[in-house]
Chains A and B, each alone.
Chain A
Amino acid sequence: MGRNRDAEYRSRVSGYYRQLMEQCQAHMDLMDNELPRAREDFGEVLKERGVTRRDFLKWTSAMTAALMLPPMFKPLVARAAENFSRLPVVWLHFAECTGCSEAFLRTSYPNVDDILLDTISLEYHETLMAAAGKQAEECLEKALADFPGKFVCVIEGAIPMGLNGQYLRLGPKGKTAIEIAKEVTSKAAATICIGSCSSFGNVQAANPNPTNAKGISDAIGIQTVNIAGCPPSPQNFVGTVLHFLMFGALPPTDNLGRPVWAYGKRIHDYCERRPHYDAGEYVEEWGDEGAKKGWCLYKMGCKGPYTYGNCAKVRFNDGTSWPIMAGHGCMGCTEPGFWDTMAPLEKPLTDKPIGGWGVTARIDKLGLALTAATAVGIGAHIIGTGAMNHGQPRKPESDDKADEGSHE
């Protein structure tokens, strides 16, 4: 791209961004009055954890870029970070394994993502809270009463729809997961699905899906933002919450509800082993010379070419590693129905010996989903489309992935 075209582009969008910034500022002023006061001084917390002002600014730049915002938004990202702990959060667990909570609570150190997750204002979270039984339920009721329309509902886990939802009943009143999800999300400012269970159903929804488990959006017909992955990178959650704090709306998503800023690109295109794919250098069996040299894992069943996510970039556990670095290959865990569409996990997709479940249909469906996701990915720079009514009933025309998670 030439210098002139670059300048032209900048002048064309600067007006748009200036307007967006004003919106953002106005929204944050409003939030300053509305959010409960902070429990802890954010600056002090950073200092306590050994994060310098310079580290924080570096993080702000990186986060601003990751969110696909221009650099002038950096101060606003910083301001949103300071408000992070003021946002009341109700975190629900349904049919799941708590891996996402684990991922979020023992992420990296001492970086800012992690500190934000530690300071999050959890009003209800079964794995962590001290109260139990009746007293736990009171916490939930109190959060709904104290912060109506203001808290963010985070959901971990799928909803078993079979038996009218009675595979999972919770609390002293024995409510079904369906009832609880409807009640809480209807009062939430927004609903964020953490992980592939709440996003798309995940493992319990794999064929033959004995409990008819579904992701939240499919189960109760609301629009959610889906932080897919099993588990996903915590940064994808942090960025999504920051976006919410800045604009009062969740970030733009692809047609599967995944934030484009985090899930807009293919694993394969950012993979550190990609040059070996291009050079035709493959691991041919586990533990061979190629494995020791870090060659491409496509022939060992890596699903990076079919999977959207930023794993290659952000990695896991403070950038320690990620599955492809560990020599295993990607299994496609950010994609709906991956246990079926990507199986067998240790073989390339062209070579699928599982009998009886309509292999061709699966490949077609996968192809369609990928095409659609790419289309969204390309046109995805528009942050202003934030008015998505999260937590409100979904419009019928956006209901284009009704059976994506269920593979009948």
Chain B
Amino acid sequence: MAQRIIVDPITRIEGHLRIEVELDEANTIKDAWSSITLWRGIETILKGRDPRDAPLMVQRFCGVCTYVHYEASILALEDAFGIRPPANARLVRNLIHAALYMTDHIMHFYHLHGLDWVDITKAITADPAKAEALARQYSDNPYNCAESHYRAVQKRLAKYVESGRLGPFANAYWGNGSYKLSPEANLVIVSHYLDALQVSKVGAQMMAIFGGKNPHPQTLVAGGITSAMDMLDAHRIGEYQFRLNQLKNFIETAYLPDLIMAAGAYKDEGLAGVGAGVKNYVCYGGFPLDDQWNKTLLPRGVVVNGDIANPQPLDEAKIAEEVTHSWYKGDKPLHPYEGTTDPEYTGYDANGNVKGDEKYTWCKGPTYDGQPFEVGPLARMVLGYAQGDERIKPLVDSTLQATGLPAAVLFSTLGRTAARGLETKLVADYTQNWINELIANIKAGDTRTWTRCDVPKSGKGRGMVEVPRGALGHWIVIEDHVISNYQAIVPSTWNCAPRNQEGKRGPYEESLIGTKLANADQPLEILRTIHSFDPCMACAVHIIRPDTDEIKQFRVL
């Protein structure tokens, strides 16, 4: 008999998400639905405001992906105002954004996603000497690597367990048969879990050097940046440089080696394509390498149905949002400039389950050419690989060679997690160029940080950029100098989308199909795949309507 499982709350993500799946007798997932359970309504709140207030407000969509909405909104304003920021502003923005990429991906791998791969309790039984030897197999000079250090980490963990108060590590799925790492591998990665807590702080400081603070930097304005004083201060640039070296060291000697080590243990899952999903990928381009955005470090384009032989250019007109299975009125997909948001709540069924054939989530369904698309690091690495990108292709190839795995392994949960690691290295390596360019500009006497601009009486613009979790777009319409419409399609909306008009599942949903659970009471495999997307629900549910009297029976279970 089919069995329904509901996982709510999905933890170790930003925000409030429910996943509901149907299992067969062998505990294999036959069907899946993702549902978002919170509304905040920031876009409604934006209407009637000064457009220049939007960027700081929409930054509050999310504190985990802090900065990204700030930048996308600024880009939308600049598009509407018909201006570009000067080169220095572009470079400083890239430096802040690069620090976010590195910090966010490190934190995701260890603190949000790591415990889906790593069994902390097994680390306690490891042999610290063997752990040291193991770490040295994956790096010439592994991060914080010594038998004595591993022993100390073990002691710390053991004390935790003995105290009987596991705190955030309590009541998890320790001992589940789906954990594959050796005790020693567990110990090495757990030690880096603790190190990463410190390292991610260094990344946050990098953002604060030019951004004022983290989370929620406060330094961008339409037309440029405000931290002119910091930018012109050699000491400040040095502070950034010093920390960049620290982060790069961690990425080279901890993050990537750990990733390769985990990939070895979980390669069968990867080869079997567990968690592959919809295999359609869309990217908007990220990190401008010139002031006109002609070249970007992260690619722009589309891969359809996993066909890496035929990458296609991006056609922005094909982006739309539909609401067939979302709690809103509407019968046809609309481009974000025309987007509407009329709620139509229909609730859950009598058993408290989602009505899978009807509407079942507050998340809208973004589509490209009518189809569900995945966004994020995997999309970027697959597209860059397909386009033969001069940096991405060799990076992916060398990693595949080192692990002895075929390119097909990319299309899996493991591939998604690995792509994030590779991208971290790509960004970390390139960041030095922006520092150098900035110094060269200032040396040559260019100290401009702002392009003069003002709010037009009317206009519209869009800001489309690749951010850590994927393709992000903001669309603004201005009338009478104030905001008349504001829509954002964020990475988690793409990935958390419900079924489309044709009944095709969204990326989260599709990625769960066929996954077998080792223990139906412990949805570890579900968490592993959902976390591999790095979900961010606050971002995905930014749309609220005030006139909600018609929503009467709201039950989540």
Contact = CB atoms under 8 A, between A and B. Distances in A.
Interface of A: 36-40, 48, 93, 95-103, 105-110, 114, 118, 121-123, 125-133, 135-136, 138-139, 142, 160, 162-163, 166-174, 202-204, 206-211, 213, 230-231, 285-287, 291-294, 315-318, 320-328, 331, 339, 343-347, 353-357
B3 to A, nearest CB: 14
Nearest to B543: A210
A204 B40 contact: yes
A95 B481 CA distance: 30
Interface in B446-467: 447-450, 452
B223 to A, nearest CB: 7
A399 to B, nearest CB: 26
A126 B9 contact: yes
A166 B215 CA distance: 29
Contacts of B226: 286-287, 291, 326-328
Give me the 10 closest cross-chain CB pairs, A-B, nearest first: A99-B63, A326-B212, A287-B450, A130-B172, A316-B213, A174-B556, A327-B226, A166-B554, A210-B546, A344-B50
A128 B168 contact: yes
Interface of B: 6-16, 37-42, 44-45, 48-50, 52-53, 56-57, 60-64, 66, 103, 107, 111-112, 115, 120, 152, 156, 159-160, 163, 165, 167-173, 197-198, 200-205, 207-219, 221, 223-224, 226-230, 232, 239, 352, 447-450, 452, 481-482, 522-523, 527, 538, 544-546, 548, 551, 554-557
B9 A125 contact: no
B197 A208 contact: no
Given A96-B538, A211-B41, A345 B63 contact: no
| Most interface-central of B13, B15, B223, B226 (chain A CB within 10 A) | B226
Nearest to A96: B538
Contacts of A316: 208, 212-214
Contact of B39 (A122, A211, A321): A211
A346 B221 contact: yes
Contact of A291 (B41, B171, B198, B229): B229
A386 B16 CA distance: 36
Contacts of B62: 97-99
Given A326-B226, A327-B219, A344-B52, A320 B201 contact: no
Nearest to B207: A317
Contact of A174 (B64, B447, B546, B555): B555
Contact of B8 (A133, A208, A355): A133
Given A99-B66, A132-B527, A294-B229, A127 B12 contact: yes
B218 A326 contact: yes
Given A96-B538, A129-B11, A345-B56, A320 B167 contact: no
A28 to B, nearest CB: 21
B171 to A, nearest CB: 4
A135 B556 contact: no
Contacts of B11: 126-132, 136
| Most interface-central of A103, A291, A316 (chain B CB within 10 A) | A316
B507 to A, nearest CB: 20
Contacts, number: 322
A133 B6 contact: yes
13 contacts: A39-B159, A93-B16, A106-B200, A108-B201, A127-B14, A170-B9, A209-B546, A286-B226, A291-B228, A294-B229, A320-B209, A344-B49, A346-B221
| Most interface-central of A132, A211, A327 (chain B CB within 10 A) | A132
| Most interface-central of B15, B107, B522 (chain A CB within 10 A) | B15
A354 B212 contact: no
Contacts of A343: 49-50, 53
Contacts of B173: 130-131, 135
Given A99-B66, A129-B11, A292-B228, A328 B482 contact: no
Contacts of B551: 163, 166
A48 B212 contact: no
B247 to A, nearest CB: 13
Contacts of B223: 286
Nearest to B60: A203
A286 B53 CA distance: 15
Contacts of A129: 11-12, 168-170, 172
B51 to A, nearest CB: 9
B171 A131 contact: yes
Contacts of A209: 45, 546
Contacts of A39: 159-160, 163, 165, 167
A97 B554 contact: no
Given A109-B202, A325-B212, A345 B53 contact: yes
Contacts of B45: 203-204, 206-210, 339
Contact of B538 (A97, A138, A171): A97
B13 A170 contact: no
A126 B11 CA distance: 5
Given A106-B197, A321-B212, A135 B57 contact: no
B172 A135 contact: yes
B39 A160 contact: yes
B175 to A, nearest CB: 12
Contact of A292 (B159, B205, B229, B555): B229
B13 A127 contact: yes
A135 B169 CA distance: 11
B155 to A, nearest CB: 10
A210 B544 contact: yes
A102 B221 contact: no
A356 B48 contact: yes
Given A206-B45, A343-B53, A328 B63 contact: no
A169 B345 CA distance: 14
Nearest to B41: A210
Contacts of A326: 210-213, 217-219, 226-227, 230
B554 A40 contact: no
Contacts of A286: 221, 223-224, 226, 449-450
B52 A346 contact: yes
Contacts of A95: 38, 40
A172 B163 contact: no
| Most interface-central of B61, B227, B448 (chain A CB within 10 A) | B227
A123 B168 CA distance: 6
A102 B12 contact: no
Contact of B63 (A100, A167, A174, A331): A100
Contact of B201 (A114, A122, A173): A114
A355 B482 contact: yes
